[in-house]
Amino acid sequence: MQKRKLGNSGLEVSALGLGCMGMTYGYGPGGDKQEMIALIRKAVELGVTLFDTAEAYGAANEELVGEALAPFRGRVAIATKFGIKHDASGQQFQDSRPEGIRQSLEGSLKRLKVDAIDLYYQHRVDTNVPIEEVAGTVKDLIGEGKIKYFGLSEPGVKTIRRAHAVQPVTAIQSEYSLWWRRPEEELLPTLEELGIGLVPFSPLGKGFLTGKIDEKTTFDKSDFRNIVPRFTPEARKTNLALVDLLRTIAERKKATPAQIALAWLLAQKPWIVPIPGTKKLERLGENIGADAVELTFQDLHEIDSAASKITIQGDRYPEALEKRTGL
């Protein structure tokens, strides 16, 4: 596995990380705990050194990651997030107050079984707390040795600049893939200017770009894709045009659609580190194999040209969730 540096921070990680959310949360029933531990450890064996979790995914997710990676302390980087919590009824609420950040951090340190968080993201911008106050709190915690690097998830570019002026931001986590390219408008140029890395989540379009989903696919009732406009049967049927494009390139490259989608992301900038998630060992190997897929200038031109003629149907989030993003 090749290595990449997230911007100018000095944090060097594998070119592909592993998103761990779906192992316990969001995509239907979680995986068997021992199988998920084995999968995470297999990822380390295959060269993955960046693992992503969050307080908002539930205690079980951070605990799983912490237990799985306990034998590899100092060899891997664990990213987690603060700022979204659940009340007694299970409803999400935002809390990026300084005392809230400190409370979240102590909980994450305990669940992950670490002395310091390698990369600590604000999960979503909290409009009730100035970003300068958030960045200042993180700066203090870095000074205390409890955090190594600071990140933001789905912020707007003005927020990034304001935070970066207080405490240098190492990485931005935002959705970015062939079917969600809005980051190219403002985000990527800003990150390049400031020397900040990008960690794209849902680099496979929440599984759609793998080619394993069509308009007839049904999801478990607890799978959040059931409420995503882009995943209505009608939208899926239309959006398969993008998968067909990936499949065409994949056949020529002796690869899979998922590998082409990930290789395309890796080819965009040398400071981009996608974090595809999976609960299956065979998918883990497939995703990591994208690191060896070389797309030529002609390949990239062909993909961009064909993709520009495809109109993706459906919003990526329900309206209420989209409002929480800074993009």
CA dist 145 and 135 (Å) reads: 15
- Assigned architecture for domain 3-322: Alpha-Beta Barrel (3.20)
What is the percent of the chain where pLDDT is above 90?
Answer: 88
* Range of lowest pLDDT (66-80, 193-207, 223-237, 250-264): 223-237
pLDDT of 251 = 96
Query: Residue length, the chain?
Result: 327
Smallest CA-to-CA distance from 49 within 111, 114, 4, 116 is with 4
| pLDDT of 326 above 80 | no
Where residue 37 falls among pLDDT bands split at 50, 70, 90?
very high
| 57 annotated active-site | yes
Catalytic residue among 25, 57, 121, 149: 57
pLDDT of 222 = 85
pLDDT of 327 = 44
Smallest CA-to-CA distance from 264 within 279, 285, 242, 282 is with 242
Domain ranges of the chain: 3-322
Smallest CA-to-CA distance from 215 within 314, 287, 286 is with 314
Phi, psi of 120 (to 5 degrees): -115, 110
pLDDT of 238 = 93
pTM given for the model: 0.94
| pLDDT of 28 above 90 | no
| Contact (CB, 8 A) for 258 and 209 | yes
- Tell me the pLDDT tens digit for each residue of 151-185: 999 999 999 999 999 999 999 999 999 999 999 99
